[in-house]
Amino acid sequence: MTNQTNCCAVSRGTAGAQAIQQKPEQKGSTAGMVRLDGGSFLMGSEYKRGFPADGEGPVREVTVDPFWIAPHTVTNQQFSEFVEATGYKTEAETFEWSFVFHLFLPENFPPTRSVPGAEWWRQVFGANWRKPEGPTSNLNGRDNHPVVHVSWNDAVAYAAWRGMRLPTEAEWEFAARGGKVQKKYPWGDTLLPKGKHQCNIWQGNFPTKNTNKDGFLGTCPVDQFRPNGYGLYNMSGNVWEWCADWFHPTFHTQAPRQNPAGPPQGEAKVMKGGSYLCHKSYCNRYRVGARTHNTPDSSTGHMGFRLVMSV
């Protein structure tokens, strides 16, 4: 077990982790999806308090074709239907462990291995999408919460079953901005407009005390908080969302500006949106232009995904 030393992307670190190939879309049902007309927008960020290694900038004009996108991330209920229909086994179940945030473990939980440099993450045997906090937990009351402990490969398998795919990073960011130009968040530049919480992130002192002022310690329902200008929920916070692209910190400086799709190969996949663990003092990656990455076989309790389909 190794890690990428940040709170966002702790990695299973399997040597030579492979990504399964996304299958061509089979044009699944668009029921409940949002159709976006595409177009040009300013992608990326030059936020001075960002992380240079993330490669947020430079800001560049990018164009995406029209596409359909789910208004929210895939839920536990939706994923359970997939598993019931196919018998699919997630990588967390195959490896028999996943990463769980330390505050979610009971006080009497047996000692667990922590991640050097990110000790708040624990290797918990028996943790998976059905048991998000380990073998004694369950999904009671969380049917409408995002499925977590799903790897990139798991997300691609689900997408293929639905006849859809994961969004490119450019599609994801175009959608997340909701028509706004270079704003920090899907709703604007102020984190708490009129003092009201707009997303599910960390409040308090990370990683020891979360005051839960937004109402949630872990995940929240996928349709919680107000949607952005395109009718999409939780494009900031709640759970990180897998994108189709391989990650590279500088590839986009020379990539095509029409429907960019990342480098042809790599070691980790792009993730966008931040999660309930993001906090300005440490991560601050719940901004629309922020990004991080993880290996395609990795899974944690704060990573999920949503689907798109070409028009």
- CATH number for the domain harbouring residue 90: 3.90.1580.10
Chain-centroid distance of CA 272 in Å reads 5
**31 occurs within a structural domain:** no
Beta strands of 82-143 (E only): which ranges?
A: 97-101, 113-115, 118-125
Structural domains in the chain (count):
1
Q: Does residue 98 lie within any of the structural domains? A: yes
Q: Is residue 8 part of a domain?
A: no
Q: Say if 9 falls within a structural domain.
A: no
β-pairing, 118-125 with 113-115?
Answer: antiparallel
Instruction: Tell me, yes or no, if the pTM score tops 0.85.
Output: yes
Q: Report, in angstroms and rounded to the nearest whole number, the Rg of the chain calculated over CA atoms.
A: 18
Let me know if residue 10 belongs to a domain: no
Range of the domain at 45: 37-310
Query: For residue 22, is it within any domain?
Result: no
Q: How far apart are CA 86 and CA 80, in angstroms?
A: 10
The answer to whether residue 256 sits within a structural domain is: yes
Please tell me whether the peptide bond between 264 and the residue prior to it is cis, using omega within 30 degrees of 0.
no
The pair of structure tokens assigned to 71 is 């208004």
The closest alpha carbon to 151, from 219, 211, 79, belongs to 79
What pLDDT shows up at residue 3?
A: 39
Question: pLDDT 10s digit of each residue in the chain, 311 long?
Answer: 443 445 677 888 665 577 888 877 778 899 999 999 999 999 999 998 888 999 999 999 999 999 999 999 999 999 999 999 999 999 999 999 999 999 999 989 999 999 998 999 999 999 999 999 999 999 999 999 999 999 999 999 999 999 999 999 999 999 999 999 999 999 999 999 999 999 999 999 999 999 999 999 999 999 999 999 999 999 999 999 999 999 999 998 888 999 999 999 999 999 999 999 999 887 889 999 999 999 999 999 999 999 999 99
Evaluate whether residue 21 is within a structural domain: no
280 CB-side CA count, 13 A: 8
Beta-strand pair 308-310/39-43:
unpaired
